[in-house]
A and B are shown apart, each in its own frame.
Chain A
Amino acid sequence: MSGENAAPRVSARQLWRRNGLIWAALLSLLFLSLGLAYVPMGRMTMVAGIVIAFVKSSLVILLFMELVKSKPLVRLAAFAGVVCLAALFALTLADVLTRITTTQ
C-alpha cells in the first residue's frame, strides 16, 4: 500500500488511458452489434448478438472488475457461478429441445 507521501504507482493519465481504451472497445462492440442486428443472417443474427455480449462482458469482468489480477480463489467463485448457470441452461434445454409433442 502506498502512503500519503509516496509517489503513486500510476498517474491519473495512465488510469484514464487504460480504462478509456477498454471503454472505447466496449462502445465499438456495442455499435457493431447494433449494426449486425440489421444484417439478415437468419439465426446467426441472434448468435452474433450473444457472442458480442459475451465479449463485452468478458472485457468488463476481466479488466474493469480485474478478475485477471485477482486471486485464484476469487476466480474460482466467479467460475462456480458460471458453471452452475451453464448446468441450469444445459439440462433445462435438454428437456425443452428434445420434447416429443406427439408420438405416432
Chain B
Amino acid sequence: MTDALLTGDLPLPPRPDYLRHGVTLKSWLITTDHKRIAILYAITITIFFFMGGIAITLVRLELLTPNGWLLTSDTYNKLFSFHGIVMVWFFLVPSIPNTLGNFLLPLMIGAPDVAFPRLNLFSWYLTIAAGVLTVYALIAGGVDTGWTFYTPYSTMFSNSHVFAAASGVFVVGFASIATGVNFIATTHMLRAPGMTWFRLPLFVWAIYATSIVMVLATPVLAISLLLVIAERWLGLPIFNPANGGDPILFQHLFWFYSHPAVYIMVLPAMGVVSEIIPCFARRRIFGYDFMVYAMLVIAGIGFFVWGHHMFVSGQSPYANLIFSFLSFIIAVPSAIKVFNWTASLYRGQISFEAPMLYALGFVGLFTTGGLSGLFLASIPVDVHVTDTYFVVAHFHYIMVGGSVSAFFAGLHFWWPKITGKMYPESWSRFAAILMYAGFNMTFLPQFFAGYLGMPRRYHTYPPEFQIYNVMSSSGAAILALAYLLPLGYLAWSLYYGERAGKNPWGATGLEWTTFSPPPPKNFDWQPRVDRGPYDYHAEGQSAGLDPPEVQNARGVL
C-alpha cells in the first residue's frame, strides 16, 4: 500500500458506507452497527425533544399572565411534569452519550464497533418501550407529580398516571445501565494498538466517566421508582407516614441518582467542547491531564453531594453541612475546566465556524450556571432560593444552556463525518448566536424572579413577577426558533449540502482518518496510534496554520 492510499487520497474500490449498506427499514431495525444505532437514537431524542418543547411552550404561554388564561391548573401541572420527565430522561440523559457517544466512541479509539453490539441495540429498544409508556401516560391523561415524583404526593394523593410514567422512567433506566456497561467495556477492551489511556481524546474520557455514573447511580433511581410503584399500585406501605414511613427517604434515593444525572448530562458536553476548542484554535488543549482528572473527580464526588437538594426538606442540619461542604468542593474541578478551555485559546489561530461558536456559547453559559451554583451550595442562601425560579434558571443554564449548546456544537462539528455532507455555514452561525441570545433572554430574568421569591411550579403567581415572566416567555420564543432552525437547515444539507471530505476541519483524532461517512466496520485498515491527542502543533509551540502532520514534522526536526 502506498502512502497516498493510506491517507485515502486515492479512490478505493466502491464500497457502500454505513448509511447505504442496506437500505430497508428492517436493515435499520435489526442493525448492530453502532453508527446506525446512533442515528436511531438521534431520531428518537429529536422527537422527544420537540414533544418536551411543545409542552413547555404551552407552559411559557400560560405564564404570560399572572392568573392564567389558557390552561387549568391540572393541565399546567401535567405539562411541566411531562416536560421535565421527557427532557431529562428521554432527551438530555441519552442526548450526547447515546448519539454522539455511540457514533464516535468506537471511531475515536479505533474500534470496529462497541463491545456488545446487540446489547447496544437492545438498549435502544428499551428506550423506545420506555418512551411508549411515558407517552401513554400523557395520552391517557398525564401525570402531575413533577419529574421528581416526590412522595407521599406521588404515592397517595396524585390522581394521575403515575404508574405508567414511573414505569417508563424505570425501564429507560435499564437502557442507561446497558449503555453504560457497554461503553465502559468498549473503552477498556477495544482501544486500537498504541491508544494508551493518556492518548485518549477527552471526549472518550468524558463518555467513560459518564458511563460510570450511569452504571452506579441509575439502579438507585430504578429502586426509588419501584418503591413508588409498589406503594401506589400494590399498596405496600413504604413511605406512608401513617404507617411510620419516611417520605424524605425517597428524596435521598431519588437525588442519589438525580444529582449525578446532572453530570451524566454535562460531562459529555464538556467532552465535546474539549474536542472543538482545540480544533478551531489550532492549539493543544491546555492541561490535558488536569482535564482528565477533573472529569474523574467530578464523576466521583458527584455521588456525594445529592443532599444539597434537601437543605429545607427536614434533613438533619449536620447532614446539610456535610453536603454543603462537598458541593463547594465539586465546584473546583468545574472551575479548572473553564480556566483550561480559556487558556487553550492563548496564542491560537482561532476561527469561528459554527461549532466553535456553539462551544464558546457553552463555556459562557456553563460558567454562568456554575457560578450560580455557588449560591445554592451556601446553606442560608439556598434556603431562600431553593424551589424558586433561581433554581430553575440555575439548572437550565447547566443542563440546557450547557448540554444542549454542546450537543449542537458536536452535531455541527461531526455532521460531515456522520452524513458526509457539510451544513450551511452562515445559517448555522446565525442559529448559534440566536440560541445564545434567546437562552439568556429566557433564563436570566428567572434568576431575579427567583431571588425575589417566585416559587417554581406555580400556575398562577403574584402579579409583581409578571414582568420577569413576560421577558422569559419572549426569550423562549426566540430560543424555540433557534432550536427549529438547525432542524431545517441540517435536513436541507442532507440533500443539497456540499460533499465533505475525510477531515474538513483539519482535526486530529482517529475518527477523521476514515471516510465520511465511515464504512460499516469504521476503518479499512487497523488504526495505530503513536502520538497524543490534539497534536495541532509541536510541544511548547504556539498554534500554526499548517496541518498537524506538517507541524509535527517541523517540531521533531
Contact = CB atoms under 8 A, between A and B. Distances in A.
Interface of A: 73, 80-81, 84, 87-88, 91-92, 94-100
Interface stretch (B316-324, B354-362, B428-436): B316-324
A98 B256 contact: no
Given A80-B212, A80-B216, A88-B256, A95 B304 contact: no
Contacts of B307: 91, 95
A97 B318 CA distance: 10
Contacts of B319: 91, 94-95, 98
A96 B304 CA distance: 16
Contact of B322 (A81, A88, A94, A96): A94
B15 interface: no
B297 interface: no
A92 B322 contact: no
A99 B314 CA distance: 8
A75 B285 CA distance: 33
A94 B316 contact: yes
B220 interface: yes
A7 B246 CA distance: 61
A100 B316 contact: yes
B316 A99 contact: yes
Contacts of A97: 316
Interface centre among A91, A96, A99 (most CB of B within 10 A): A91
B315 A95 contact: yes
B252 interface: yes
Q: Is the interface of A mostly helix, strand, loop or mixed?
A: helix
B554 interface: no
A93 to B, nearest CB: 9
Contacts of B26: none
A92 to B, nearest CB: 5
Contacts of A99: 314-316
Interface of B: 188, 212, 216-217, 220, 246, 248-249, 252, 256, 303-304, 306-307, 310, 314-319, 322-323
B311 to A, nearest CB: 11
Nearest to B188: A73
Given A81-B216, A91-B319, A96-B246, 18 more contacts: A73-B188, A80-B212, A84-B217, A87-B304, A88-B220, A88-B303, A91-B323, A94-B316, A94-B322, A95-B248, A95-B252, A95-B307, A95-B310, A98-B318, A98-B319, A99-B314, A99-B315, A100-B316
Nearest to B313: A95
**Centre residue among B303, B304, B306, B319 by max chain A CB count within 10 A:** B319
A94 B216 CA distance: 20
Nearest to B216: A84
A95 B248 CA distance: 10
A39 to B, nearest CB: 28
A88 B318 CA distance: 16
Nearest to A92: B252
B244 to A, nearest CB: 13
Nearest to B220: A88
B318 A94 contact: yes
A100 B304 contact: no
A10 to B, nearest CB: 28
A51 to B, nearest CB: 25
B303 A95 contact: no
Nearest to B212: A80
A100 B212 contact: no
Q: Which 10 A-B pairs have the closest CB atoms?
A: A95-B319, A98-B316, A99-B316, A98-B318, A84-B216, A92-B252, A94-B319, A95-B315, A95-B316, A87-B303
